[in-house]
């Protein structure tokens, strides 16, 4: 357990430029304190001391403002930056070197009816290794966030996220995706799960629709031009026929005059 604590402290030092020393992390980082309380409560929970595990977890919640259920599974190198308002549910699973920011929820969407039938059922999300979840993001339900994925700040993820993919928005949509061969879990760290040059997925869809509309408008214009040319050719006056017709008309007029 103490080896895991050392790795948690190293994660804080590596991902937070405001951390000046390990002692500062140990004494003044509520995210680290919450993880310590969780690991103690989880130790009792795994040994069937459920009430004691919940009490220790509740004490940690009161002291840090971060709620981590002792039944959750969290790997080493876990870092909660700022931390206030983070909620991690009972059946949540978190891999190694994961970063969460404040106000993140790893929650369930099971209905409140028939709670007994939902006990021991998977209700909360699974986060792979090297995942970053931005502040205010909500990851709900038994979905999977792949290795190296990013969930942008204030996003609401309701569906699985592929490895190496960045999602943003409500509901979360793919904004950027690396190919599988490029999905390096050691990619540059993206604070709050959002890169500076990340495209807006909604704007990207709108731009694609505008391009499509413009293309269709050009096709319609071409078709109208062709149709106009065909109609013009159909009603074109034949000069020879017109002369013959004029001669015929003169004869008819002369007959009538007679």
Reported as a single tens digit per residue, the pLDDT across 61-96 is 999 999 999 999 999 999 999 889 999 999 999 999
Separation of alpha carbons 60 and 88, rounded Å: 13
Domain extents for the chain?
Answer: 2-198, 207-257
The pLDDT-based confidence of 5 (bands split at 50, 70, 90) is confident
Separation of alpha carbons 66 and 235, rounded Å: 82
pLDDT in tens, 182-196: 445 556 777 777 776
The three-state secondary structure class of 4 is: helix
pLDDT in tens, 39-54: 999 999 999 999 999 9
Residue 9: the pLDDT is 92
pTM: 0.74
Which of 79, 85, 90, 86 lies closest to 35 in space, CA to CA?
A: 79
Rg (CA), the chain: 34
CA geometry: angle 33, 38, 42, nearest 5 deg: 155
- Percentage of the chain lying above the pLDDT 70 cut: 81
pLDDT in tens, 194-239: 776 676 767 777 878 888 888 888 888 888 888 877 776 555 555 5
Quick check: 245 pLDDT over 60? no
Residue 256: the pLDDT is 47
Please compute the mean of the pLDDT values over residues 141-147 and round it to a whole number: 95
For 245-256, what is the HEC assignment?
HHHHHHHHHHHH
Phi, psi of 7 (to 5 degrees): -70, -35
3-state helix, strand, coil in the chain (%, to 5): 45, 15, 40
CATH superfamily of 2-198: Hexapeptide repeat proteins (2.160.10.10)
Separation of alpha carbons 81 and 21, rounded Å: 15
Please compute the mean of the pLDDT values over residues 149-168 and round it to a whole number: 93
- Percentage of the chain lying above the pLDDT 90 cut: 52
Between residues 98 and 180, the one the model is more confident about: 98
In contact, 164 and 147? CB cutoff 8 Å:
yes
Cis peptide before 171 (omega within 30 of 0): yes
Separation of alpha carbons 219 and 215, rounded Å: 6
What is the secondary structure of 66-124 as a DSSP string? -EE-TT-EE-SS-EESS-TT-EE-TT-EE-SS-EE-TT-EEE----STTHHHHTTS--S
Residue 177: the pLDDT is 78
């Amino acid at each position: 357990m103490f080896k895991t604590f050392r790795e948690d402290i190293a994660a804080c030092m590596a991902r937070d430029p405001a951390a000046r020393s390990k002692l500062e992390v140990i004494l003044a980082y509520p995210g680290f304190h919450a993880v310590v309380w969780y690991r103690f409560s989880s130790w009792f929970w795994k040994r069937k001391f459920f009430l004691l595990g919940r009490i220790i977890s509740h004490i940690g919640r009161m002291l840090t403002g971060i709620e981590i259920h002792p039944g959750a599974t969290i790997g080493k190198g876990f870092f909660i930056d700022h931390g206030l308002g983070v909620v991690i549910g009972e059946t949540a699973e978190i891999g190694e070197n994961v970063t969460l920011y404040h106000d993140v929820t790893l929650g369930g969407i099971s209905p409140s009816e028939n709670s007994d039938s939902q006990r021991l059922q998977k209700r909360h999300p699974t986060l792979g290794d090297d995942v970053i979840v931005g502040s205010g993001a909500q990851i709900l339900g038994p979905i999977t966030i792949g290795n190296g994925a990013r969930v942008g700040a204030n996003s609401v993820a309701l569906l699985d996220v592929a490895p190496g993919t960045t999602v943003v928005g409500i509901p979360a949509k793919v904004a950027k995706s690396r190919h599988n061969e490029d999905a390096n879990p050691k990619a540059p760290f993206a604070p709050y799960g959002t890169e500076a040059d990340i495209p807006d997925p909604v704007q990207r869809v709108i731009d694609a629709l505008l391009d499509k509309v413009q293309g269709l408008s050009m096709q319609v214009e071409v078709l109208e031009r062709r149709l106009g040319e065909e109609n013009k050719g159909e009603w074109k006056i034949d000069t020879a026929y017109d002369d013959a017709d004029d001669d015929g008309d003169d004869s008819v007029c002369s007959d009538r005059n007679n």
